Chain A
Amino acid sequence: MSLIVKNLSYTYNRGMPTETAALFDISLEVDRGDILSVVGHTGSGKSTLAQHLNGLIIPQSGDVCVDGVAVKAKSRDLRKVRREVGLVFQYPEQQIFAETVEEEIAFGPFNWGFRGEDLHSKVVNALQMIGLDESYLQRSPFTLSGGQKRRLAIASVLSSDPSYIVLDEPTAGLDAKGARDLISILQSRAGCGTGVVHITHDFELALRISTRILILENGRQVSCGTPRDTAELLRKRHVEGLMLPDVLKFSFELKERGFINSIAWDPAELAKIIAGAC
């Protein structure tokens, strides 16, 4: 049971003068409970990839397969796929429409056929996941703060209990605390067995929270591996528009000069390595 992408390629406006290739030959696999971070510069194809994962874009070539169900044009399974894979767009608070927080969160599960007590418990559950209490249920979503709106939008996807959740730059535009709160929501979701695909251009964050990291450069897959393998690879290869954390760069330098044998991106870990080497 996993979300599998195989040799996926996609070109926008195929056959028109404005044709632009967005993805070439991408392959990845996400298991439930994993956090896969997709890292790349603006325009590297991250968002196009995200929309493939729940069938909003049908693959032109290659396959997308969710728990054994393939995403195909006009297939009845498309809704099944969308039910299993929740997609949170960039600035998801812009999709908010309902008069109350309750109605907003209930929109998803209601569409999937939940009613009455089931529906209510799903709403309350999702509200708890994002750290808000039931007193918020009757408030208008438009009165919430920026960070709360963002979390509400994410709750409105989580409320459908998707097996996988794909988030496109979920921390964009949030302050440090808002971003931290959000990341801990993602981590606790993964802990409960949800597969998380986290799209970001913050490589430091990706190293910190992911089980695997996929790096995109101009629509091509540079690598897909554990944070350690990825960091090791980036010691030798430059990737366009990717900012390496200073601590990691520092450990590269130290290793280059023969002071230490392994690399690290966490300050405490690097300190430990240096202490061990002295």
Chain B
Amino acid sequence: MAFMNGVAFGQYIPADSAIHALDPRCKILMTLLTMTSIFICETLSALILWGVLLPATIHMSKVPVRAVLRSAKPVIVLIAFTSLLHLFWTPGHEIFRVAFLSVTDKGCVMAVRMGLRLFYLVLYAGLLTLTTSPSELSDGLEAIMRPFGRIGLPSHEIAMMMTIALRFIPTLFEETDRIIKSQMSRGADFESGGLVRRARSYIPVLIPLFVLVFQRADTLASAMEARCYRGGKGRVRMYPLKWGAGENRALAVLALFIAVIVLAERMNFWI
């Protein structure tokens, strides 16, 4: 998939690690917990602690560091922009001025804090998708959402739609890649010309892609019906989710870690 290498999505990297083996529900819960705590923590030192946990977790997951960093690539601009806004627009003691922009002591702290916060959020979330296959992920989400079925949330249908969408992303990438290549073989040029011309040059890619997507959707619907798919009621799982001692341990470790951070913040140990 030479032309699609830059896009990391559905980026699961299989490996034999303790994190890969965890129940997806556990991993989703842990990610949610981590993200919430990162959001509510106030001090720089708490963020530094989260920053210590991150490489440790990456090491445990046996996912290459490069792959983890790549998952943050699309939001780097957003993070930089947010940091800059905080740097210039936080009131406080002025350190120096560039024209009408003043940089304050608090601004510096805020900029670093916001930048790190967003960066961690993306990386921890990235770790979840890197270590959990799409099907495990939607199984886990379905199980977590099931209680909301009482208030009318169609958790199975949502999970099924997610599974199908995720399942087809790589396929569609491959097909897009092939169509792009076959139009390139016929001399199509996607690189030169102005914006309008370049956008127009993608028409010979988009039309065949749409045709394919509709055909695939049709075939898939028939295949599901042929196998008597009638929604989630009474369905059993091929791979039942298992919550065991390992999951409890993982949650306990995370809870302790968060407790330490919260305590430390409360007791004003650090800045």
Contact = CB atoms under 8 A, between A and B. Distances in A.
B188 to A, nearest CB: 6
Given A17-B13, A17-B15, A56-B2, A82 B203 contact: no
Contact of A95 (B64, B203, B208): B208
- B contact residues, range: 20 to 34
B173 to A, nearest CB: 14
A132 B145 CA distance: 57
Interface centre among B178, B181, B189, B204 (most CB of A within 10 A): B178
B181 A83 contact: no
Interface in B181-216: 181-189, 203-205, 207-208, 211-212
Interface string A78-95: 010011001111001011
User: Interface on chain B toward A: helix, strand, loop, or mixed SS?
Assistant: helix
A160 B181 contact: no
Nearest to A85: B185
Contact of A87 (B13, B175, B185, B188): B185
B207 A83 contact: no
Interface string A87-127: 11100101111100000000110111000000000000000
A107 B186 contact: yes
B17 to A, nearest CB: 12
Nearest to A95: B182
B179 interface: yes
A156 B64 CA distance: 44
A56 B207 CA distance: 21
A16 B179 contact: no
Interface string B157-188: 00000000000000000010011011111111
Nearest to A47: B178
A51 B186 contact: no
B181 to A, nearest CB: 5
Interface string A134-146: 0000000010000
Contacts of B212: 94
A196 interface: no
Contacts of B2: 56-57
Nearest to A56: B181
Contacts of B64: 16-17
A87 B208 contact: no
A82 to B, nearest CB: 6
A112 B13 CA distance: 41
A200 interface: no
A95 B188 contact: no
Contact of B187 (A16, A82, A89): A82
A87 B186 CA distance: 8
A111 B186 CA distance: 7
A75 interface: no
B15 A79 contact: no
Given A96-B208, A107-B188, 12 more contacts: A56-B181, A79-B187, A82-B184, A82-B187, A86-B185, A89-B182, A89-B185, A95-B179, A97-B208, A112-B187, A157-B186, A160-B187
21 contacts: A16-B64, A17-B14, A51-B181, A57-B2, A79-B187, A79-B189, A82-B187, A83-B187, A87-B182, A88-B185, A89-B182, A89-B185, A94-B208, A94-B211, A95-B179, A107-B183, A107-B187, A107-B188, A107-B204, A111-B187, A160-B187
Interface of A: 16-18, 51, 54, 56-57, 79, 82-83, 86-89, 92, 94-98, 107-108, 110-112, 142, 156-157, 160
